[in-house]
Amino acid sequence: MKLNNGYEIPSPGFGTFKIPDGDICVESVREAIAAGYTHIDTAAVYANERSVGEGIRRSGVPREKLFITSKVWNSERGYDKTLKACEKSLSDIGTDYLDLYLIHWPANNLQFGDRAEAVNIDTWRALERLVEEKVIRSAGLSNFYASHLGPVLSSANICPAADQIEYHPGLLQQETVDLCRRNGILVEAWSPLGRGFLLEDETVRRIAAEVGKTASQVLLRWCVQNDTLPLVKSVHAERIRENLDIFSFSLSEGQMKEISALPEFRYGSHPDTATF
């Protein structure tokens, strides 16, 4: 897929959330790259950036052929702290640039009161500087809903390239998705399988049987056909390969509508009520 600054971002991405630091993470990343993933997503708070970097090195694939994303954690918000946080992520991963760097969560009114918008804007200014210095190629956001995204857009010199949000058939996030599309911001879908709950849904399983694919492949294909980029995670080689095989089939308009009509639910925290 193409970002609004002209860079291309591979879809789907291989996510590393909750993959423990150490051999399991190293091997999972290596296996994912061997399977054909070229987009690896990590974050400082995942505490596995060193292992992600080691997995990349063991893959034998040149750095320039990969797309690496990381994120600044909430404790490091603000201009100066964000610059230092990015420097540490670069060191831990073992690369001299990131393809995409995200603000992991927006500062909210619950924790910061009237200062929340200013904190987000100050953090965004740091990402803009990192782009200008070519330390990162693209800057983006994560878990920013329309109410958080608006103030950043109004003050930004560089438009965010992506917004990574919880997105799956049970959480369509239409207001945020619409605002992103009006501004050319790519929507990345974290938890596209609904943390696995959607794999047991009767509608999803029936449609999977109709198209001769697995439930996870159907859910990821639904994301792709909705012009979003799914981030998928597994530590099992067979599932890693399976989750990449989503371009050999398509869902009909009727199947897409059925999946989109599934009951609403949220797995992760709401950014307005998050206290971390």
Beta-bridged to residue 71, according to DSSP, are: 102
Q: How many helices (H) and strands (E) does the chain have?
A: 11, 8
| Cis before 151 (ω within 30) | no
Integer-rounded Cα radius of gyration of the chain: 18
Residue ranges in 72-141 assigned as alpha helix (H)? 79-93, 109-112, 116-132
Q: Is 79 a catalytic residue?
A: no
- DSSP track, 176-227: HHHHHHHTTPEEEEESTTGGGGGGG-HHHHHHHHHHTS-HHHHHHHHHHHTT
Report which of 76, 165, 88 is spatially closest to residue 126, judged by C-alpha positions: 76
Q: Which of 7, 37, 46, 79 is catalytic?
A: 46
Residue pair 197/17 in contact (Cβ under 8 Å)? The answer is no
Q: Cα–Cα distance between 219 and 267 in angstroms, integer? A: 16
164 CA to centre of own chain: 4
Catalytically active residues, by annotation: 46
